[in-house]
Amino acid sequence: MKANLYLARHGETKWNKVQRFQGQLDSELTTKGRQQARNIAERLEKSNISHIISSPLGRAITSAQICQEILKIPHQTESDLTERHLGHWQGQQLKNIQASPDYQKIFQQFTQAKPLGGESAIDCAQRISQVLEQIAKAYLNKNVLVICHGEALRCLLAKQGYHSNASAYELFNNGDIIHLSYQHQIKSFQLHQLALAS
């Protein structure tokens, strides 16, 4: 018995376009971002998706609603799918953050280091992993589209053993999809493929 989870990064936002850290702040999808959200749904039309579950942040909700219009299936939000809290880095330009001596440790490695007032990569990964396990158990033998965030996905994959020294900006494009299955007998996630956007 297993559940298939298709984890998608939301469409491009105005802040993504100018490389401003969002974290748990928010900005609207761009025209390109709305098309990326449509592309997510279109790429999964034949995957028998039964539900869409998204982060409660506006950019994820809008992306999910666009997918819902195409796939004609229920959508709900889950608070623990929200992006990693980036503390005092939120709202700042990437180029300014990169000058921080802790930038690599915080944003490119899997550590307990965190920005002032923020969340560590390890803590974020634990939160995301727990909520995905809950979703998998609730949707046994179903295929679920989960719309969340790039840094949350980076942290999750690091916890699953897929380490990289790259940042979320380098690892995931907006609209990228990761296919995970949860094997109920062994209580473990398996990465099947990185279905990255073109």
Among residues 167, 195, 181, 149, the alpha carbon closest in space to that of 107 is found at 167
CA dihedral of 170, 43, 65, 18, whole degrees rounded to 10:
20
Examine the residue annotation and report whether 10 is marked as an active-site residue of this protein: yes
**Alpha carbon distance 38, 175 (integer Å):** 9
**Alpha carbon distance 28, 75 (integer Å):** 19
Pairing mode, strands 177-183 and 143-148: unpaired
Containing H/E element for 175? none
Check 12, 83, 119, 151 and give the catalytic one. Answer: 83
Containing H/E element for 186? none
Catalytic annotation, residues: 10, 83
